[in-house]
Amino acid sequence: MKHIVLICAGGFSANIMGSLIRKAMEKHEFDGDLKAMSEWNFQNYRDPVDVLLLGPQLSYMYDKLKEKYKGTHVKVGMIAMTDYGRMDAEHVFESILEMLNE
Amino acid sequence: MSVQDKMTSFFDKLAPTINKLGNNIYLRSISNTMMGTIGPLMVGSIAVLFLAFPIQGVKDAIAAIGLTPILAAVNSITIGGLALYVVFLMAKNLVSMLLPNEDGTLIGALALMSFLIITPLGALEGGGNAIPTQWLGASGVFSAFIVAIISAKIYELFVKKHITIKMPDSVPSVVTKSFDSLLPAFAIGIVFIIIRLIFQNTSFGNLHQFIYSLIQTPLQGLGTSLPATLVFGTVAQLLWFFGIHGTNVINPLVQPLRLALDAENMAALAAGQALPHIIGNAFWSINTWGATTLGLILLMLRSKSSQYREMGKIALVPGILGITEPLVFGLPLVFNFSFFFPYIFNNVIIILLSYFLTSIGIIARCSGVQCIFGLPLGFHAMVGGHWTIVVWQIISQLVISPVLWYPWFKMAEKKKVQEENEAANLVA
Protein backbone atom coordinates (compact mmCIF):
# COMPACT_ATOMS: atom_id res chain seq x y z
CA MET A 1 0.00 0.00 0.00
CA LYS A 2 1.62 3.23 -1.17
CA HIS A 3 0.64 6.68 0.08
CA ILE A 4 0.77 9.51 -2.39
CA VAL A 5 0.31 13.15 -1.32
CA LEU A 6 -0.29 15.94 -3.81
CA ILE A 7 0.09 19.54 -2.69
CA CYS A 8 -0.59 22.92 -4.25
CA ALA A 9 -0.87 26.44 -2.86
CA GLY A 10 -4.46 26.53 -1.65
CA GLY A 11 -5.42 22.89 -2.16
CA PHE A 12 -8.00 23.68 -4.84
CA SER A 13 -6.31 22.70 -8.07
CA ALA A 14 -4.61 19.78 -6.33
CA ASN A 15 -8.05 18.53 -5.41
CA ILE A 16 -9.24 18.52 -9.01
CA MET A 17 -6.02 16.88 -10.22
CA GLY A 18 -6.05 14.46 -7.28
CA SER A 19 -9.51 13.09 -7.96
CA LEU A 20 -8.52 12.40 -11.59
CA ILE A 21 -5.31 10.63 -10.54
CA ARG A 22 -7.30 8.57 -8.04
CA LYS A 23 -9.51 7.41 -10.92
CA ALA A 24 -6.42 6.43 -12.91
CA MET A 25 -5.09 4.55 -9.87
CA GLU A 26 -8.35 2.63 -9.58
CA LYS A 27 -8.37 1.83 -13.27
CA HIS A 28 -4.88 0.34 -13.03
CA GLU A 29 -5.72 -1.40 -9.75
CA PHE A 30 -2.87 0.39 -8.05
CA ASP A 31 -2.41 -0.56 -4.41
CA GLY A 32 -2.33 2.84 -2.76
CA ASP A 33 -4.17 6.04 -1.96
CA LEU A 34 -3.79 9.69 -2.79
CA LYS A 35 -4.51 12.73 -0.68
CA ALA A 36 -4.58 16.29 -2.02
CA MET A 37 -4.05 19.29 0.23
CA SER A 38 -2.52 22.74 0.52
CA GLU A 39 1.20 23.03 1.23
CA TRP A 40 0.42 24.53 4.64
CA ASN A 41 -1.78 21.62 5.68
CA PHE A 42 0.94 19.25 4.56
CA GLN A 43 3.24 20.93 7.03
CA ASN A 44 1.28 19.36 9.90
CA TYR A 45 0.55 16.12 8.09
CA ARG A 46 1.81 13.19 10.15
CA ASP A 47 0.54 10.16 8.23
CA PRO A 48 2.93 8.07 6.16
CA VAL A 49 4.00 9.40 2.76
CA ASP A 50 5.76 7.47 0.00
CA VAL A 51 5.50 9.94 -2.85
CA LEU A 52 5.11 13.69 -2.46
CA LEU A 53 3.96 15.49 -5.60
CA LEU A 54 4.04 19.26 -6.02
CA GLY A 55 1.88 21.28 -8.35
CA PRO A 56 4.11 23.29 -10.70
CA GLN A 57 3.08 26.59 -9.07
CA LEU A 58 5.00 25.46 -5.99
CA SER A 59 8.27 25.14 -7.89
CA TYR A 60 9.79 27.55 -5.36
CA MET A 61 9.39 24.91 -2.67
CA TYR A 62 10.74 21.97 -4.63
CA ASP A 63 14.42 22.25 -3.67
CA LYS A 64 13.60 22.72 -0.02
CA LEU A 65 11.31 19.69 0.17
CA LYS A 66 13.72 17.58 -1.86
CA GLU A 67 16.42 18.46 0.66
CA LYS A 68 14.12 17.70 3.59
CA TYR A 69 13.45 14.16 2.43
CA LYS A 70 16.99 13.43 1.26
CA GLY A 71 18.08 10.03 2.51
CA THR A 72 14.55 8.91 3.37
CA HIS A 73 12.30 6.64 1.35
CA VAL A 74 10.02 9.56 0.46
CA LYS A 75 10.21 10.48 -3.22
CA VAL A 76 9.60 14.11 -4.06
CA GLY A 77 8.51 15.12 -7.53
CA MET A 78 7.00 18.04 -9.36
CA ILE A 79 4.19 17.51 -11.82
CA ALA A 80 5.07 18.78 -15.28
CA MET A 81 3.27 22.00 -16.21
CA THR A 82 1.53 20.54 -19.24
CA ASP A 83 0.37 17.46 -17.33
CA TYR A 84 -1.01 19.65 -14.57
CA GLY A 85 -2.68 22.10 -16.93
CA ARG A 86 -4.25 19.50 -19.20
CA MET A 87 -5.10 17.43 -16.11
CA ASP A 88 -3.38 14.45 -17.72
CA ALA A 89 -3.89 12.02 -14.83
CA GLU A 90 -2.70 8.99 -16.82
CA HIS A 91 0.66 10.56 -17.44
CA VAL A 92 1.05 11.67 -13.84
CA PHE A 93 0.13 8.15 -12.75
CA GLU A 94 2.90 6.76 -14.96
CA SER A 95 5.41 9.13 -13.38
CA ILE A 96 4.27 8.02 -9.92
CA LEU A 97 5.05 4.44 -10.92
CA GLU A 98 8.43 5.50 -12.26
CA MET A 99 9.24 7.33 -9.05
CA LEU A 100 8.29 4.29 -6.98
CA ASN A 101 10.50 2.04 -9.12
CA GLU A 102 13.57 4.27 -8.83
CA MET B 1 19.80 37.65 -27.35
CA SER B 2 16.10 38.36 -27.82
CA VAL B 3 14.02 40.31 -25.34
CA GLN B 4 12.36 37.06 -24.33
CA ASP B 5 15.63 35.32 -23.60
CA LYS B 6 16.78 38.33 -21.65
CA MET B 7 13.64 38.29 -19.54
CA THR B 8 13.96 34.59 -18.89
CA SER B 9 17.58 34.84 -17.85
CA PHE B 10 16.75 37.83 -15.67
CA PHE B 11 14.08 35.74 -13.97
CA ASP B 12 16.53 32.88 -13.50
CA LYS B 13 18.78 35.27 -11.62
CA LEU B 14 15.83 36.42 -9.55
CA ALA B 15 14.56 32.92 -8.80
CA PRO B 16 16.62 32.23 -5.66
CA THR B 17 15.31 35.46 -4.10
CA ILE B 18 11.73 34.51 -4.94
CA ASN B 19 12.31 31.04 -3.52
CA LYS B 20 13.59 32.58 -0.32
CA LEU B 21 10.59 34.88 -0.12
CA GLY B 22 8.15 32.05 -0.80
CA ASN B 23 9.74 29.80 1.81
CA ASN B 24 10.33 32.48 4.42
CA ILE B 25 8.83 31.16 7.65
CA TYR B 26 7.77 34.57 8.93
CA LEU B 27 5.91 35.44 5.74
CA ARG B 28 4.32 32.00 5.56
CA SER B 29 3.21 32.26 9.18
CA ILE B 30 1.70 35.69 8.53
CA SER B 31 -0.18 34.39 5.52
CA ASN B 32 -1.61 31.43 7.40
CA THR B 33 -2.43 33.54 10.42
CA MET B 34 -4.54 35.81 8.23
CA MET B 35 -6.26 32.74 6.80
CA GLY B 36 -6.92 31.51 10.33
CA THR B 37 -8.72 34.71 11.27
CA ILE B 38 -11.32 34.16 8.55
CA GLY B 39 -13.58 32.18 10.95
CA PRO B 40 -14.07 34.92 13.57
CA LEU B 41 -14.16 37.55 10.81
CA MET B 42 -16.98 35.69 9.07
CA VAL B 43 -19.05 35.40 12.25
CA GLY B 44 -18.45 39.10 12.86
CA SER B 45 -19.42 39.87 9.27
CA ILE B 46 -22.79 38.20 9.76
CA ALA B 47 -23.34 40.29 12.89
CA VAL B 48 -22.46 43.45 10.93
CA LEU B 49 -24.74 42.39 8.10
CA PHE B 50 -27.73 42.28 10.44
CA LEU B 51 -26.72 45.41 12.32
CA ALA B 52 -26.59 47.37 9.07
CA PHE B 53 -29.41 45.51 7.33
CA PRO B 54 -30.64 47.56 4.36
CA ILE B 55 -34.33 46.93 5.15
CA GLN B 56 -35.63 49.00 8.07
CA GLY B 57 -38.34 46.48 9.00
CA VAL B 58 -35.76 43.74 9.57
CA LYS B 59 -33.61 46.12 11.61
CA ASP B 60 -36.59 47.01 13.78
CA ALA B 61 -37.46 43.35 14.32
CA ILE B 62 -33.85 42.64 15.40
CA ALA B 63 -34.01 45.53 17.84
CA ALA B 64 -37.45 44.45 19.15
CA ILE B 65 -36.22 41.01 20.26
CA GLY B 66 -33.19 42.58 21.94
CA LEU B 67 -30.64 41.21 19.50
CA THR B 68 -29.01 44.52 18.53
CA PRO B 69 -26.72 44.90 21.58
CA ILE B 70 -25.71 41.22 21.31
CA LEU B 71 -24.81 41.62 17.64
CA ALA B 72 -22.85 44.76 18.48
CA ALA B 73 -20.94 42.83 21.14
CA VAL B 74 -20.23 39.98 18.70
CA ASN B 75 -18.88 42.57 16.27
CA SER B 76 -16.57 44.06 18.94
CA ILE B 77 -15.02 40.74 19.90
CA THR B 78 -14.64 39.37 16.36
CA ILE B 79 -13.76 42.15 13.91
CA GLY B 80 -13.05 44.51 16.79
CA GLY B 81 -10.90 41.80 18.38
CA LEU B 82 -8.91 40.85 15.28
CA ALA B 83 -5.54 41.46 16.98
CA LEU B 84 -6.34 38.89 19.70
CA TYR B 85 -6.75 36.12 17.13
CA VAL B 86 -3.72 37.32 15.19
CA VAL B 87 -1.40 37.26 18.21
CA PHE B 88 -2.44 33.74 19.19
CA LEU B 89 -2.34 32.26 15.70
CA MET B 90 0.87 33.99 14.67
CA ALA B 91 2.79 32.72 17.70
CA LYS B 92 1.36 29.23 17.23
CA ASN B 93 2.09 29.12 13.48
CA LEU B 94 5.57 30.54 13.87
CA VAL B 95 6.57 28.11 16.62
CA SER B 96 5.25 25.17 14.61
CA MET B 97 7.61 26.27 11.82
CA LEU B 98 10.61 27.17 13.99
CA LEU B 99 10.32 23.94 15.99
CA PRO B 100 8.88 21.18 13.82
CA ASN B 101 8.08 18.93 16.79
CA GLU B 102 5.86 21.48 18.54
CA ASP B 103 2.37 22.54 17.62
CA GLY B 104 2.78 25.90 19.34
CA THR B 105 -0.56 26.07 21.14
CA LEU B 106 1.06 26.86 24.51
CA ILE B 107 3.10 29.66 23.05
CA GLY B 108 -0.03 31.03 21.40
CA ALA B 109 -1.54 31.41 24.87
CA LEU B 110 1.64 33.07 26.15
CA ALA B 111 1.67 35.53 23.26
CA LEU B 112 -1.95 36.42 24.00
CA MET B 113 -0.96 37.01 27.62
CA SER B 114 1.93 39.24 26.52
CA PHE B 115 -0.34 41.20 24.21
CA LEU B 116 -2.73 41.86 27.08
CA ILE B 117 0.13 42.76 29.44
CA ILE B 118 1.09 45.69 27.22
CA THR B 119 -2.55 46.71 26.67
CA PRO B 120 -3.66 49.44 29.07
CA LEU B 121 -6.44 48.32 31.38
CA GLY B 122 -9.21 50.77 32.19
CA ALA B 123 -11.35 51.15 35.32
CA LEU B 124 -15.10 51.13 34.84
CA GLU B 125 -17.20 53.80 36.44
CA GLY B 126 -19.00 52.12 39.32
CA GLY B 127 -16.24 49.57 39.88
CA GLY B 128 -14.58 46.77 37.97
CA ASN B 129 -11.90 46.75 35.27
CA ALA B 130 -12.25 46.63 31.50
CA ILE B 131 -9.93 46.18 28.55
CA PRO B 132 -10.51 49.05 26.12
CA THR B 133 -11.14 47.68 22.63
CA GLN B 134 -9.01 50.41 21.05
CA TRP B 135 -5.98 48.15 20.47
CA LEU B 136 -7.74 44.82 20.11
CA GLY B 137 -8.93 45.44 16.55
CA ALA B 138 -7.35 46.57 13.30
CA SER B 139 -5.11 49.16 14.98
CA GLY B 140 -3.48 46.46 17.10
CA VAL B 141 -2.75 44.01 14.28
CA PHE B 142 0.86 45.06 13.82
CA SER B 143 1.71 45.04 17.49
CA ALA B 144 0.03 41.61 17.61
CA PHE B 145 2.47 40.36 14.96
CA ILE B 146 5.45 41.86 16.75
CA VAL B 147 4.43 40.55 20.20
CA ALA B 148 3.85 37.10 18.71
CA ILE B 149 7.25 37.07 17.00
CA ILE B 150 9.09 38.20 20.16
CA SER B 151 7.28 35.57 22.27
CA ALA B 152 7.98 32.82 19.76
CA LYS B 153 11.66 33.74 19.48
CA ILE B 154 12.12 33.74 23.26
CA TYR B 155 10.47 30.33 23.42
CA GLU B 156 12.67 29.05 20.58
CA LEU B 157 15.76 30.25 22.44
CA PHE B 158 14.75 28.27 25.54
CA VAL B 159 14.06 25.11 23.59
CA LYS B 160 17.15 25.28 21.33
CA LYS B 161 19.54 26.14 24.15
CA HIS B 162 17.92 23.49 26.37
CA ILE B 163 17.34 25.92 29.19
CA THR B 164 15.37 23.70 31.57
CA ILE B 165 15.13 22.96 35.26
CA LYS B 166 17.01 19.82 36.22
CA MET B 167 14.70 17.39 38.03
CA PRO B 168 15.51 14.11 39.75
CA ASP B 169 14.84 11.05 37.57
CA SER B 170 12.03 9.90 39.82
CA VAL B 171 9.90 12.90 38.79
CA PRO B 172 7.43 11.80 36.11
CA SER B 173 8.16 13.27 32.67
CA VAL B 174 4.73 14.96 32.57
CA VAL B 175 5.71 17.04 35.59
CA THR B 176 9.15 17.85 34.17
CA LYS B 177 7.53 18.94 30.96
CA SER B 178 5.11 21.31 32.61
CA PHE B 179 7.94 22.86 34.63
CA ASP B 180 10.00 23.26 31.47
CA SER B 181 7.20 25.16 29.83
CA LEU B 182 7.04 27.50 32.83
CA LEU B 183 10.53 28.91 32.33
CA PRO B 184 9.87 30.54 28.96
CA ALA B 185 6.49 31.70 30.30
CA PHE B 186 8.24 33.61 33.08
CA ALA B 187 10.85 35.00 30.71
CA ILE B 188 8.23 36.17 28.20
CA GLY B 189 6.07 37.65 30.94
CA ILE B 190 8.98 39.58 32.44
CA VAL B 191 10.09 40.92 29.05
CA PHE B 192 6.65 42.35 28.35
CA ILE B 193 6.25 43.76 31.85
CA ILE B 194 9.51 45.63 31.27
CA ILE B 195 8.34 46.77 27.84
CA ARG B 196 5.15 48.11 29.36
CA LEU B 197 7.12 49.93 32.04
CA ILE B 198 9.43 51.52 29.50
CA PHE B 199 6.67 52.72 27.17
CA GLN B 200 4.56 54.00 30.03
CA ASN B 201 7.26 56.60 30.54
CA THR B 202 7.34 57.74 26.91
CA SER B 203 4.98 60.10 25.13
CA PHE B 204 3.48 57.06 23.33
CA GLY B 205 2.09 55.66 26.56
CA ASN B 206 2.26 52.05 25.35
CA LEU B 207 3.85 49.76 22.77
CA HIS B 208 0.64 49.60 20.69
CA GLN B 209 0.62 53.34 20.13
CA PHE B 210 4.32 53.29 19.29
CA ILE B 211 3.96 50.55 16.68
CA TYR B 212 0.76 52.00 15.30
CA SER B 213 2.23 55.48 14.78
CA LEU B 214 5.69 54.49 13.65
CA ILE B 215 5.13 51.27 11.69
CA GLN B 216 1.51 50.45 10.90
CA THR B 217 0.26 53.85 9.73
CA PRO B 218 3.13 54.63 7.32
CA LEU B 219 3.18 51.06 5.96
CA GLN B 220 -0.56 51.05 5.49
CA GLY B 221 -0.45 54.37 3.68
CA LEU B 222 2.30 53.11 1.38
CA GLY B 223 1.27 49.50 0.89
CA THR B 224 -2.40 50.00 0.18
CA SER B 225 -2.20 53.12 -1.99
CA LEU B 226 -3.43 52.81 -5.56
CA PRO B 227 0.09 52.92 -7.10
CA ALA B 228 1.34 50.26 -4.67
CA THR B 229 -1.68 48.08 -5.40
CA LEU B 230 -0.98 48.36 -9.13
CA VAL B 231 2.67 47.46 -8.57
CA PHE B 232 1.80 44.45 -6.41
CA GLY B 233 -0.79 43.40 -8.99
CA THR B 234 1.83 43.51 -11.74
CA VAL B 235 4.51 41.69 -9.74
CA ALA B 236 2.10 38.93 -8.69
CA GLN B 237 1.19 38.33 -12.33
CA LEU B 238 4.85 38.43 -13.42
CA LEU B 239 5.56 35.65 -10.94
CA TRP B 240 2.61 33.69 -12.30
CA PHE B 241 4.00 34.20 -15.80
CA PHE B 242 7.16 32.45 -14.68
CA GLY B 243 5.10 29.62 -13.22
CA ILE B 244 5.10 30.63 -9.58
CA HIS B 245 1.98 31.09 -7.46
CA GLY B 246 2.45 34.87 -7.35
CA THR B 247 -0.47 35.55 -5.05
CA ASN B 248 0.95 33.15 -2.47
CA VAL B 249 4.33 34.83 -2.51
CA ILE B 250 3.09 38.45 -2.50
CA ASN B 251 0.11 38.15 -0.16
CA PRO B 252 1.88 37.90 3.20
CA LEU B 253 3.63 41.20 2.45
CA VAL B 254 0.44 43.19 1.95
CA GLN B 255 -2.52 41.13 3.13
CA PRO B 256 -2.31 42.18 6.80
CA LEU B 257 -2.30 45.83 5.70
CA ARG B 258 -5.33 45.34 3.48
CA LEU B 259 -7.20 43.28 6.06
CA ALA B 260 -6.77 46.02 8.64
CA LEU B 261 -8.45 48.43 6.20
CA ASP B 262 -11.29 45.96 5.66
CA ALA B 263 -11.75 45.68 9.42
CA GLU B 264 -12.06 49.48 9.57
CA ASN B 265 -14.68 49.38 6.81
CA MET B 266 -16.67 46.74 8.70
CA ALA B 267 -16.46 48.72 11.92
CA ALA B 268 -17.79 51.79 10.10
CA LEU B 269 -20.59 49.73 8.54
CA ALA B 270 -21.60 48.38 11.96
CA ALA B 271 -21.63 51.91 13.36
CA GLY B 272 -23.75 53.14 10.46
CA GLN B 273 -21.02 55.43 9.14
CA ALA B 274 -19.68 55.95 5.61
CA LEU B 275 -17.03 53.38 4.59
CA PRO B 276 -13.57 54.98 4.79
CA HIS B 277 -11.60 52.87 2.28
CA ILE B 278 -11.87 51.86 -1.37
CA ILE B 279 -8.90 49.50 -1.39
CA GLY B 280 -8.83 46.59 1.00
CA ASN B 281 -8.35 42.85 0.79
CA ALA B 282 -11.91 42.26 -0.41
CA PHE B 283 -11.48 44.87 -3.16
CA TRP B 284 -8.29 43.12 -4.21
CA SER B 285 -9.84 39.62 -4.23
CA ILE B 286 -12.95 40.70 -6.12
CA ASN B 287 -11.00 42.54 -8.82
CA THR B 288 -8.16 40.08 -9.31
CA TRP B 289 -10.53 37.12 -9.35
CA GLY B 290 -9.22 34.48 -11.75
CA ALA B 291 -6.71 36.95 -13.22
CA THR B 292 -9.29 37.61 -16.01
CA THR B 293 -8.59 34.16 -17.46
CA LEU B 294 -12.29 33.36 -17.76
CA GLY B 295 -12.50 35.88 -20.60
CA LEU B 296 -9.79 34.02 -22.49
CA ILE B 297 -11.51 30.69 -21.81
CA LEU B 298 -14.71 32.05 -23.35
CA LEU B 299 -12.80 33.11 -26.48
CA MET B 300 -11.15 29.69 -26.68
CA LEU B 301 -14.44 27.82 -26.50
CA ARG B 302 -15.40 29.29 -29.88
CA SER B 303 -11.93 29.18 -31.39
CA LYS B 304 -11.11 27.97 -34.91
CA SER B 305 -8.30 25.92 -33.41
CA SER B 306 -9.40 22.53 -32.16
CA GLN B 307 -6.63 22.49 -29.55
CA TYR B 308 -7.84 25.77 -28.12
CA ARG B 309 -11.43 24.54 -28.04
CA GLU B 310 -10.35 21.41 -26.15
CA MET B 311 -8.32 23.44 -23.70
CA GLY B 312 -11.22 25.81 -23.19
CA LYS B 313 -13.50 22.91 -22.29
CA ILE B 314 -11.04 21.54 -19.71
CA ALA B 315 -10.51 24.96 -18.16
CA LEU B 316 -14.13 26.17 -18.13
CA VAL B 317 -15.51 24.70 -14.89
CA PRO B 318 -12.42 25.42 -12.76
CA GLY B 319 -12.37 28.86 -14.43
CA ILE B 320 -15.90 29.67 -13.30
CA LEU B 321 -14.75 28.86 -9.75
CA GLY B 322 -11.73 31.15 -10.06
CA ILE B 323 -9.24 28.27 -10.33
CA THR B 324 -6.82 29.20 -13.09
CA GLU B 325 -4.21 26.43 -13.05
CA PRO B 326 -5.58 24.33 -15.95
CA LEU B 327 -5.37 27.28 -18.33
CA VAL B 328 -2.19 28.73 -16.83
CA PHE B 329 -0.25 25.48 -17.22
CA GLY B 330 -2.27 23.81 -19.97
CA LEU B 331 -2.47 26.47 -22.67
CA PRO B 332 -0.01 27.50 -21.21
CA LEU B 333 0.08 31.11 -20.09
CA VAL B 334 3.32 30.39 -18.26
CA PHE B 335 6.37 31.45 -20.34
CA ASN B 336 4.02 32.14 -23.24
CA PHE B 337 5.11 35.47 -24.68
CA SER B 338 2.13 35.64 -27.08
CA PHE B 339 -0.08 36.32 -24.06
CA PHE B 340 2.49 38.14 -21.94
CA PHE B 341 0.92 41.57 -22.09
CA PRO B 342 -2.70 40.73 -21.26
CA TYR B 343 -1.75 38.12 -18.65
CA ILE B 344 0.41 40.60 -16.77
CA PHE B 345 -1.64 43.76 -17.15
CA ASN B 346 -5.34 42.83 -17.41
CA ASN B 347 -5.64 42.61 -13.62
CA VAL B 348 -4.16 46.05 -13.21
CA ILE B 349 -6.52 47.49 -15.84
CA ILE B 350 -9.52 45.99 -14.01
CA ILE B 351 -8.24 47.35 -10.68
CA LEU B 352 -7.81 50.83 -12.17
CA LEU B 353 -11.28 50.83 -13.75
CA SER B 354 -12.83 49.55 -10.54
CA TYR B 355 -11.05 52.13 -8.43
CA PHE B 356 -12.18 54.91 -10.74
CA LEU B 357 -15.82 53.73 -10.84
CA THR B 358 -15.84 53.34 -7.06
CA SER B 359 -14.33 56.76 -6.44
CA ILE B 360 -17.02 58.46 -8.54
CA GLY B 361 -19.69 56.46 -6.73
CA ILE B 362 -20.93 54.15 -9.50
CA ILE B 363 -19.70 51.03 -7.70
CA ALA B 364 -20.20 50.82 -3.93
CA ARG B 365 -17.22 50.46 -1.60
CA CYS B 366 -16.59 46.92 -0.36
CA SER B 367 -18.05 46.19 3.07
CA GLY B 368 -14.77 44.58 4.11
CA VAL B 369 -16.24 41.10 4.50
CA GLN B 370 -13.73 38.56 3.14
CA CYS B 371 -14.34 36.62 -0.04
CA ILE B 372 -14.45 32.84 0.01
CA PHE B 373 -12.18 31.39 -2.66
CA GLY B 374 -13.83 28.75 -4.82
CA LEU B 375 -17.25 30.39 -5.07
CA PRO B 376 -18.43 30.92 -8.66
CA LEU B 377 -18.11 34.26 -10.44
CA GLY B 378 -20.56 36.80 -9.03
CA PHE B 379 -21.29 34.78 -5.88
CA HIS B 380 -17.67 35.39 -4.97
CA ALA B 381 -18.31 39.16 -4.98
CA MET B 382 -21.51 39.05 -2.89
CA VAL B 383 -19.55 39.66 0.31
CA GLY B 384 -18.90 43.13 -1.11
CA GLY B 385 -22.30 43.91 0.30
CA HIS B 386 -23.79 45.75 -2.68
CA TRP B 387 -25.28 44.62 -5.98
CA THR B 388 -23.12 47.05 -7.95
CA ILE B 389 -20.02 45.12 -6.83
CA VAL B 390 -21.52 41.82 -8.02
CA VAL B 391 -22.52 43.31 -11.36
CA TRP B 392 -19.05 44.81 -11.74
CA GLN B 393 -17.34 41.47 -11.16
CA ILE B 394 -19.55 39.80 -13.75
CA ILE B 395 -19.13 42.59 -16.33
CA SER B 396 -15.39 42.88 -15.78
CA GLN B 397 -14.86 39.13 -16.25
CA LEU B 398 -17.42 38.34 -18.96
CA VAL B 399 -17.36 41.53 -21.04
CA ILE B 400 -14.24 43.61 -20.40
CA SER B 401 -11.88 40.68 -20.01
CA PRO B 402 -12.65 39.02 -23.39
CA VAL B 403 -12.20 42.41 -25.07
CA LEU B 404 -8.81 42.85 -23.41
CA TRP B 405 -7.67 39.38 -24.49
CA TYR B 406 -9.14 39.53 -27.99
CA PRO B 407 -6.31 41.08 -30.08
CA TRP B 408 -3.65 38.84 -28.54
CA PHE B 409 -5.88 35.83 -28.79
CA LYS B 410 -6.55 36.43 -32.50
CA MET B 411 -2.82 36.60 -33.24
CA ALA B 412 -2.06 33.45 -31.30
CA GLU B 413 -5.05 31.65 -32.81
CA LYS B 414 -3.93 32.43 -36.36
CA LYS B 415 -0.56 30.84 -35.68
CA LYS B 416 -2.16 27.86 -33.99
CA VAL B 417 -4.59 27.20 -36.86
CA GLN B 418 -1.71 27.39 -39.31
CA GLU B 419 0.24 24.85 -37.29
CA GLU B 420 -2.76 22.56 -37.09
CA ASN B 421 -3.34 22.75 -40.85
CA GLU B 422 0.30 21.97 -41.57
CA ALA B 423 0.17 19.01 -39.21
CA ALA B 424 -2.99 17.78 -40.93
CA ASN B 425 -1.27 18.05 -44.33
CA LEU B 426 1.69 16.06 -43.09
CA VAL B 427 -0.58 13.28 -41.89
CA ALA B 428 -2.52 13.31 -45.15
pLDDT digits (tens, 9 = 90+) for A38-68: 988 898 788 999 999 999 989 888 988 999 9
User: Does the structure show a pLDDT above 80 at B54?
Assistant: no
Q: What is the pLDDT of residue B108?
A: 95
Q: What is the mean pLDDT of chain A?
A: 91
Alpha-carbon distance of B208 to B141, in angstroms, equals 9
Integer Cα distance of B113 and B343 in angstroms: 46
Mean pLDDT of B115-132: 87
Q: What is the pLDDT of residue B365?
A: 95
- Most A CBs within 10 A among B241, B249, B329, hence the mutation to make, goes to B329
Question: Alpha helix locations (H) across B325-382?
Answer: 325-330, 340-359
Residue B231 corresponds to which amino acid? V
Q: A interface mutation test: which of B99, B248, B300, B317 has the most A CBs within 10 A? A: B248
Q: What digits encode the pLDDT tens for the residues B269-287?
A: 888 899 999 999 999 999 9
CB atoms within 10 A of CB B367: 24
**Considering CB atoms only, which of B28, B240, B332 is closest to A85?**
B332
| Residue B243 contacts A, CB cutoff 8 Å | yes
Contact status, residue A51 vs residue A77, Cβ threshold 8 Å: yes
Position B225 scores a pLDDT of 94
Which positions in chain B touch A92 (Cβ < 8 Å)? none
Distance CA B237, CA B233 (A): 6
Residue range A11-24: mean pLDDT, rounded: 91
Contact check, Cβ <8 Å, A87/B330: yes
Interface test with A, best of B95, B242, B325 (most A CBs within 10 A): B325
Q: Please, are residues B310 and B366 in contact by the beta-carbon 8 Å criterion?
A: no
What does the pLDDT read at residue B90? 97
Least confident interval from B262-271, B292-301, B403-412: B262-271
Note the residue count of chain B.
428
pLDDT score of B166 more than 80? no
Chain A CB contacts of B97 under 8 Å are 43
CB contact under 8 A, B23 and A64: yes
A64 interfacial to chain B (CB closer than 8 Å) = yes
The answer to whether residue A90 neighbours chain B at the CB level (below 8 Å) is no
CB-CB contact of B321 with B241 (8 Å): no
- Give the SS3 label for residue A36: strand
**Residue B231: pLDDT band by 50, 70, 90 thresholds?**
very high
Cα–Cα dist B307/B326, whole Å: 14
What would the pLDDT profile of B125-165 be if each residue is shown by its tens digit? 888 888 888 899 989 999 999 999 999 999 999 888 887 77
User: How far does A60 lie from chain B, in Å, by closest CA?
Assistant: 5
Q: What does the alpha-carbon distance between residue A6 and residue A4 come to, in Å, rounded to a whole number?
A: 7
A60: nearest CB among B18, B311, B327: B18
pLDDT at B173: 78
pLDDT at B428: 61
Q: Measured between CB atoms, does B249 come within 8 Å of chain A?
A: yes
pLDDT at B410 over 90: yes
Mean pLDDT of A22-34: 93
Which of B19, B103, B329 comes nearest A63 by C-beta?
A: B19
* A58 touches B: beta carbon within 8 Å: yes
Task: Say whether B19 and A60 touch across the interface (CB within 8 A).
Answer: yes
Is any Cβ of chain B less than 8 angstroms from the Cβ of A42?
Answer: no
SS3 content of chain B, % helix, strand, coil (to 5): 75, 0, 25
All structural domains of chain A, each given as residue ranges with its CATH number in brackets, are 2-100 (3.40.50.2300)
What distance in Å separates the CA atoms of residue B418 and residue B421, rounded to the nearest whole number?
5
* pLDDT-based confidence at residue B293 (cuts at 50, 70, 90): very high
Q: Is the pLDDT of residue B181 over 80?
A: no
Q: Testing the interface with A: which of B30, B95, B245, B320 to mutate, by most A Cβ within 10 A?
A: B245
A24 falls in which pLDDT band (50, 70, 90)? very high
Q: Which of residues 362-421 of B touch A (CB under 8 A)?
A: 373-374
Contacts of residue A92, defined as CB under 8 A and 6 or more positions apart, other chains included, come to: A17, A21, A24, A53, A79, A83, A84
Secondary element (H or E) of residue B282:
helix B281-287
**Contact call for residues B303 and B407 (beta carbons, < 8 A):** no
Predicted confidence (pLDDT) at residue B1 exceeds the cutoff of 70: no
Instruction: Flag the least confident range among B124-128, B254-258, B308-312, B412-416.
Output: B124-128
